[in-house]
Structure 1
């Protein structure tokens, strides 16, 4: 470690590079009296285990425990938070290796140089906060990245990635992750999860999540062939329902606790059985209309809630994203390449059929996420403040930044209280960003609660109890861990 850092330290000694440091009070309130309260609250929870009930880390990384190839494949390629901002700043995605396997060393190094040369693009973003935390806490970096030190930083990080201390499982233990959910296709055989479950060397519970979206979107190209991956006899609607139910049971047997749904809207209007059967036949024949496909998908979201009442899987919903907004980029680089864009979304009317039928069902949990910030206090908080099944999901994706998290804290708790929050979810593919994201949440929650204490709305012991709940108790309760 000391030898690898020598070029960095030498440059700093000469005053050539700006230092990269983490202020101990970052993100805490600026008022000194409130900050002192927030500091005490944060210190009490900073080292609690991480509970991550919604994310996108590939479980094969942990099963195989193969060293990460290089800094580019670790930090850039899997993280559309990073690549989209670089693309907006004029860096072509192909130069960053988006959609590719780990790059040859010369290309990986060149992509890293582009990241460092454009470090200014991340100023003021949560991406910068996460990056700073990862570089300092995990890799001991002491210089702010720039064009001049890009190669030295690359060598420093690459050298550590070759060490046992920075292999995936070692980092998993170091991060203190107690529970980690992945996101999985219903047709997956889940062999990686089975291997992790049966490996006594893995202390973290790594659970799959049932994500059936592409099997419910019957109007998409290729659906008649794709649906066969569910197994069973999917030749008719009854067989299709049975196949979905069987796959849910398979996931539960492999540790799944939730089913995740992310469609264009939150519609849940059921249709008559004979109509569902007719539309399903049309989809199998490739003649389904867009209106029929949308009606069927909303009906099936209702059916997914019915199945959750039967089998106990927590139902999470995050509608309101225009997927693949730039067709040329989607065609060249595939999905999740940085151009999924938020849209306005409505929950109150859309969820009424589902909640009228299942809203008071014992044991049913429905967690609502959104990227439409106005919906939190207008719809999600009131729904969570009445229906025992509804929980307000943490700010997600475009909203997982300090300003929107603070808005969410006030918008939801004043209407529904702390007990109706989901607890934090990191929703990330970037493995090393998990502790940084949870640390951001803990600091912001500590700051919000400190304000309530300073305003004499809560006593400090109540604030600590609420904060501990948000960090640990609440996600375990909501996701039935």
Structure 2
């Protein structure tokens, strides 16, 4: 896959390709706005030199480890463990030996983009080049220009949002805000473990939340505690609150029913239906808080977490076996939108890992409700062809202005520019096709591509 073509990912037809290249070049070097992601703030605060290529490109990247696992590699063999005779080079050789299985995947494309774009390595990865490439990356990582803060500047990141626990004191963010970093690093309020009765240690989490805020142990105190922590996040620059749920269900309950459910879920006596109702009601409460305090509300539904119990037991969460499920929005989100969908400054960004929802539900919802925006293709779908399918599915109903702009949603710091570049190329290709087909004018397409990387994410995330 030696694809270092300036027009990579752009349409094959020469006329369309040349228009797409012009559009892409308008935004190729535009600053990166990343309003939702998972890079730990400590990475930039400590600014430590990375230890080895495996820690940087493989460990924790479950896009990559899952396909190696599917190819027969034990996940344990991808963990650097000198005691077991597995150093970084050994693990890297394992990746190189299986590199052919990544042909045509987004993961393969991104890693090649990183090797070239970040390290200037264009040799194809394989068993015969593994050691040489490993040594080249290792040598580069020892140099000051490859430290995280230097790369942050080189990548042109203007805004980077992290994902943080509600009880985090956010001292890392305070220190970054006071530093000379040439962009903003914003926390994001992620309260799932305090809202979901099925989360590990839920009752203890609620107790810690109430203890940290000095609030009473009833439903009103619990809601007040969440409001207090949101205020703490807003003081540290947060612009959004993110919610991960398997089922897209909302319920608007009266306070008495909320109190009854709260006491039952904390005591551990609530049945399945009670826990489901509590989760659904808490999404409505989160929307209420967003209306009150202005935090953009983002919802990431539709993933069955930890599908393989044995893998979860052996290696923990986020190890490659979270699998999407069919997701229903129209009925599930209605109670929330009945209450808050017409509120003037409420912003609700809906993501999906179920492509069938794009044209059937998300585009029609965002094409009516001023509060609803369509989240970028997420997780398994932030890949070149899937981004193009998403754009095609939503645009005829909702246009370009009702989408969120691209969101990389990544823990892998080095992949941020590769992912944003991928999205910019795909958007350029899509717009070029509309121009060639006489569906939009060139000047309109130029404005749209500028907006997609700048004005739209700024507006949606209140930046």
TM over 0.5: yes
Indicate if the aligned counterparts of 1:186 and 1:212 stay in contact, CA closer than 8 A: yes
1:134 lines up with 2:114 in the alignment: yes
1:318 counterpart SS class = strand
For 2:297 and 2:198, how far apart are their aligned partners in 1?
A: 23
Counterpart for residue 146 of structure 1: 126
Q: Give the C-alpha shift of residue 20 in structure 1.
A: 4.4
Runs of 4+ more than 4 Å apart:
100-106
1:272 lines up with 2:266 in the alignment: no
TM-score (norm 1): 0.93
Match of 2:330 among 342, 348, 352: 348
CA distance 1:238–1:104, change in 2 (3 Å): farther
For 1:234 and 1:150, how far apart are their aligned partners in 2?
A: 59
- Give structure 1 stretches of 5+ with no counterpart: 1-18
Match of 2:364 among 379, 382, 385: 382
For 1:20 and 1:179, how far apart are their aligned partners in 2?
A: 32
Counterpart for residue 4 of structure 1: none
Per-residue Cα deviation, 1:401-446 (whole angstroms, up to 9, x for no partner): 1222111111111001111010000011110000000000000000
Q: Give the C-alpha shift of residue 105 in structure 1.
A: 9.2
For 2:440 and 2:459, how far apart are their aligned partners in 1?
A: 23
Counterpart for residue 208 of structure 1: 187
Indicate if the aligned counterparts of 1:346 and 1:375 stay in contact, CA closer than 8 A: yes
For 1:228 and 1:162, how far apart are their aligned partners in 2?
A: 44
For 1:101 and 1:471, how far apart are their aligned partners in 2?
A: 41
For 2:166 and 2:278, how far apart are their aligned partners in 1?
A: 19
For 1:111 and 1:336, how far apart are their aligned partners in 2?
A: 19
For 1:451 and 1:117, how far apart are their aligned partners in 2?
A: 39
- Give structure 2 stretches of 5+ with no counterpart: none
Per-residue Cα deviation, 1:253-289 (whole angstroms, up to 9, x for no partner): 1110000011011111122212221222122222222
For 1:277 and 1:194, how far apart are their aligned partners in 2?
A: 36
Match of 2:100 among 120, 134, 137: 120
Q: Give the C-alpha shift of residue 31 in structure 1.
A: 0.7
Q: How does 1:139-218 map to 2 (within 5 A)?
A: 139-199=119-179, 201-218=180-197
For 1:250 and 1:79, how far apart are their aligned partners in 2?
A: 31
For 2:359 and 2:386, how far apart are their aligned partners in 1?
A: 12
Q: Between 161-170 and 288-297, report the one with greater CA deviation.
A: 288-297
Match of 1:319 among 292, 296, 301: 301
Q: Between 146-155 and 205-214, report the one with greater CA deviation.
A: 146-155
Counterpart for residue 233 of structure 2: 251
For 2:352 and 2:85, how far apart are their aligned partners in 1?
A: 39
Q: How does 1:40-439 map to 2 (within 5 A)?
A: 40-97=22-79, 106-199=86-179, 201-230=180-209, 231-232=212-213, 233=215, 235-439=217-421
2:331 counterpart SS class = helix
TM-score (norm 2): 0.97
Q: Give the C-alpha shift of residue 108 in structure 1.
A: 1.6
Q: Between 372-381 and 219-228, report the one with greater CA deviation.
A: 219-228
1:300 counterpart SS class = helix
Indicate if the aligned counterparts of 1:46 and 1:442 stay in contact, CA closer than 8 A: yes
Q: Give the C-alpha shift of residue 142 in structure 1.
A: 2.5
Q: Between 138-147 and 466-475, report the one with greater CA deviation.
A: 138-147
Indicate if the aligned counterparts of 2:193 and 2:200 stay in contact, CA closer than 8 A: no
Per-residue Cα deviation, 1:342-393 (whole angstroms, up to 9, x for no partner): 0000110011111111111011000010000010000000000000011111
CA distance 1:166–1:101, change in 2 (3 Å): farther
For 2:207 and 2:293, how far apart are their aligned partners in 1?
A: 23
For 2:408 and 2:84, how far apart are their aligned partners in 1?
A: 30
For 1:229 and 1:214, how far apart are their aligned partners in 2?
A: 11
CA distance 1:101–1:473, change in 2 (3 Å): farther
Per-residue Cα deviation, 1:209-250 (whole angstroms, up to 9, x for no partner): 111111111233421112233222352211110110000000
Count residues with an aligned counterpart: 460
